Amino acid sequence: MSDLGGERAASADRRKTDVMIFGLRTVGEGLGGVEAHVDNLAHELDELGLSVVVAIRSGYANKGWVRGRATRFIPFWAPRSQNWEAVVHSLLVTIHAIFHRPRIVHVHAIGPSLVVPLLRLAGLKVVTTHHGEDYNREKWGVVAAAALRVGEWCQAMFANARICVSPSLSRRLEQRYGRPYIYIPNGVRAVTPVAESNELAKYGLVPGKYVLTVSRLVPEKRHLDLIGAFELLERPDLRLAMVGGGDHATPYSAAVAERARAVPNVVMTGLLTGVSLHQLFSHAGVFALPSTHEGLPIALLEAMSFGRKVVASDIAPNLDIRLPAENYHMVGDIEDLSRKLGEALVDDASALAGNDWSELLSAFDWTAIARRTLEVYSDVSPYIGMAL
C-alpha cells in the first residue's frame, strides 16, 4: 500500500463509518448477482470518498480483515445452512451495527431485510436494495418462501429508502406496498475481449464453437432446459460449457451433473474466475441465459460487455435490458431456445465477431450507479454529504 493509501485507510479507521453493507456472502467473480453488485458498488463508493464497511460471511472469507483504500471487509460468523445462513449472519451484523452506529446501513436482498425493523428501532438509518423476488426461486420450500415475503414487507414498511435493480419490479413493488422504490440497476464494466485462448483447451473448447452459460447451479437457472436445447441442435462440432457451482450440494446440482454426463459435448467447468473466465467469455459463440427468475442479470450484461451474441429467456428482468426480439426465447420452451441458439450459431465468422452492445450497456455504468446511490444516502442522512 502506498503512503497515501495508508494515510487514507488510517483516516477511515479514525472516523465514523459512513455506510455498512450486508446481505451478501463475500465479494469476487462468479459468486452471484448480489455479491458482484456490492463488490462494484463498494469500490465506487470508496472512490467517491466514503468510509465503507462490508460485512461478509466467515465461511466464504479469508481470515482477518481485508482492506481496500477506505473500505473494510469484515467476516461475521454464519452457519453453512441454506435456510439459516442469511438470517443468523444478519442478526450478528445488526448487533454490531447497533453498537458501532454507521451513518447508513445498506441491506441487500429481501432475506437479510428481516432485520430492518430492529435496525430502525435502534435509531439507525436504513437503505435497502431489492434484487429480486427470491421467494419465487424453486429451491425454497413453503416456510422459507414465506419468510422471504416477510423480509420484502419489512423492506417496504420500515426502510428509510428503497432501491430496486429492475424497473419492472420497481413498478410492481410500488403497486403492492404503496411505497416509493428508486430504480438503480446492476452494472457492468467495460472490458476488452482477450485474444488468448489457451484456457479453452482444458475443456476441449474451440473459439466460436461453443455455447456458454455462467450461473450458480440452482433450479431457476434452467440448466436442464439448456442441455435439452443443446441436444436438439444435433451439432457435433459444438460444445456446451456450463460455468458455475452450487452454494450447497443439492438434488438439482446432482441431476444437472448426471444429465451433462449423458449428453455428448457438455462440459461442466465448475466455478471459474480471472483469466479462465475472461477467455471463455471472450471466445463464446453465444451466451445463453434460459432462467425463470432474475433480478437484473449481471452475467448477461457481462457477456454483452465481451461483445458476445446472447440468447435469454423472455422474463421481465431480462426484457428490461431491451435486447432485440430475436435475442429472446420463450421461457421454458426448449425447442424455441434451441432454435434461437441455432440461429445465433449459423455462421462461424459471425459467432466469432459477436455484437457491439455499447449503446445498450451505457445505461449500466457503475460510476453513474454509485453516484445515484450516493444521492439516496445523502437524502436519508445529510451527514453523508458533510463527511465527503
Q: What pLDDT score was predicted for residue 386?
A: 64
- In percent, the amount of the chain with pLDDT more than 90 equals 70
Which pLDDT score is estimated for 140?
A: 77
Residues 308-312 have a mean pLDDT of: 97
What's the CA gap between 244 and 314, in Å, rounded?
22
> Sorting pLDDT into bands at 50, 70 and 90, what band is 27?
confident
Looking at the predicted structure, is the pLDDT value of residue 65 above 60?
no
Interval 233-254 mean pLDDT: 89
146 pLDDT more than 80: yes
Residue 80, CA distances (Å) to 32, 245, 249 in order: 17, 16, 11
Confidence label for 376 from pLDDT (cuts 50, 70 and 90): very high
Give the residue with greater pLDDT, 216 vs 80.
Answer: 216
The pLDDT assigned to 6 comes to 44
Q: In which band, very low, low, confident or very high, does the pLDDT at 351 lie, cut at 50, 70 and 90? A: low
For helices 251-262 and 223-233, the axis angle rounded to 10 degrees is 10
What pLDDT is attached to residue 295?
86
Q: What percent of the chain has pLDDT over 70?
A: 89
The whole-chain average pLDDT of the chain stands at: 89
Q: What is the pLDDT of residues 321-349, one digit of tens each?
A: 999 999 999 999 999 999 999 999 987 66
Residue 29 clears pLDDT 80, i.e. is over it: no
Q: How confident is the model at residue 64 (pLDDT cuts 50, 70, 90)?
A: very low
Directed axis angle between helix 33-47 and helix 366-380, to 10°? 80
| pLDDT over 70 (residue 136) | yes
Residue 31 is predicted with a pLDDT of: 62
Lowest-confidence segment of 46-60, 93-107, 303-317, 360-374 by average pLDDT:
46-60
Could you give all domains of the chain from N- to C-terminal order, each with its CATH number? 3-187+365-387 (3.40.50.2000), 198-361 (3.40.50.2000)
pLDDT at 152 > cutoff 80: yes
Asked if 380 contacts 125 with a C-beta cutoff of 8 angstroms, the reply is yes
User: What DSSP element (H or E) covers 311?
Assistant: strand 310-313
**pLDDT confidence of residue 1:** 36
What average pLDDT score do residues 230-234 get? 96
Question: Roughly how many angstroms between the first and final C-alpha of the chain, as a whole number?
Answer: 22
Question: Of the given ranges (32-36, 93-97, 105-109, 208-212), which has the lowest mean pLDDT?
Answer: 32-36
- 12-21, 133-142, 186-195, 378-387: least confidently modelled range: 12-21
Q: Mean pLDDT across the stretch 191-217?
A: 94
User: Could you say which DSSP state residue 304 is in?
Assistant: H
80 versus 357: the higher-pLDDT residue is 357
pLDDT at 267 over 80: yes
Residue by residue, DSSP assigns 190-249 as: -----S--GGGGGGT--TTSEEEEE--S-GGG-HHHHHHHHHHH--TT-EEEEE---SS-
Per-residue model confidence (pLDDT) at position 5: 43
Average the pLDDT over 63-83 and give the result.
71
Locate 222 and state its grid cell: 434452467
